[in-house]
Amino acid sequence: MRTMTPPSPDGAASPADGGGKRSVLAEWQLALPLALAFASIFLAPLLMLVGVSFFNDEKITQPGFGQWAKFLGDPFSYKVIADTMLLGLKTVCATIVIGYPLALIYLDASPRLQKVLIFIIVMPLLLSVVVRTFAWIVVLGREGVVNTLLLQLGIISEPLRLLQTELGLVISLTQIEMPLMLLPLISVMSRLDPNLRDASSALGASRWRTLFKVIVPLSMPGLVAGCLLVFASSTTAFISQTVIGGVRLIYLPLLIWQQSLVVFNWPFAAVVSLTLLVSVLTVVSALSYLGRRSGGYVHG
């Protein structure tokens, strides 16, 4: 087997006097401490989670497929899975619809304005998710900004119920997850050759046509990366889901929390969290497959 030495000229081409020292410590060995940490506190727990899910009782003594059968045999489970995935997809769509135009504006902005915009975009990322969730309670609540405004304008006579609805949750998650969509998008878009857009417009294409025929296809890698991050993050956003969605809207994270920390049925909680893992990874790989295919279309 080939040893894991870097292909850089270090090993073979370095002068004889330095070469002796290098063989004592190969560079890849620097990764060993972290690899050890990941094996013992990341991989081992995940393997144990899989193991625990194959026990029938809450005391984890009788092995069997009972918990899987219980979860997968219940139609309610499928509804929760579907609701969770749909919540993620709706959030992804909402962040694209308003996030993509913002990225376009960023692209056309002066360097000075770009600095301000990127500051505004990154700032929420450094702000605790709990704070961002709390902000939406203040905005969407019965006495919140939206209701006060609509009541004063006379558009509604009764306060709208926005908290504890899926609409309110999707609106909140759109803001909470927005930076995850915008950062990869902007990163890819700012590397686009501006000549391409100028050429498209010089050849008579309208700005819409340039957008859909030139900019969107070329920014696909950033768009896909953004979709993946937003989807993965919004489907597991436990705090936002429970605080804004309330207990009536049930998603997989709430189920995991109830089963593990309220009911203490660990095998069942393990089954639900593995289901969450598998469904998120399935959608994520489907998205990245679609992204690769569209990327192939552009370059091929």
Residues 183-242 that bind another protein (CB under 8 A): 183, 186-187, 190, 204, 206-208, 211, 228-229, 232, 235-236, 238-239, 242
Four-residue CA torsion sign, 24, 25, 26, 27: negative
Nearer to another protein, 6 or 297 (CB): 6
139-178: contacts with another protein (CB under 8 A): 139, 141, 143-145, 148, 171, 174-175, 178
CB 142 within 8 A of CB 222: no
The number of residues that bind another protein (CB under 8 A) is 109
Cβ proximity to another protein, 25 vs 155, nearer residue: 25
Q: Are 136 and 243 in contact (CB under 8 A)?
A: no
Per-residue x/- track, 26-65, another protein (CB under 8 A): -xxxxxxxxx-xx--xxxxxx-xx--x-------x-----
Indicate which single residue of 80, 91, 124, 177 sits in contact with another protein (rule: CB under 8 A). Answer: 124
As beta bridge partners, residue 63 has 55
264: left (phi over 0), alpha (psi -120 to 50) or beta: left
Helix 145-152 / helix 129-140 crossing angle, nearest 10 deg? 20
Q: Which of 113, 120, 156, 167 binds another protein (CB under 8 A)?
A: 120
Q: Which is nearer to another protein, 69 or 120 (CB)?
A: 120
Q: How far apart are CA 3 and CA 134, in angstroms?
A: 53
Footprint of another protein on residues 89-118 (CB under 8 A)?
97-102, 104-105, 115, 118
Q: Which of 54, 2, 30, 124 is closest to 268 using CA atoms?
A: 54
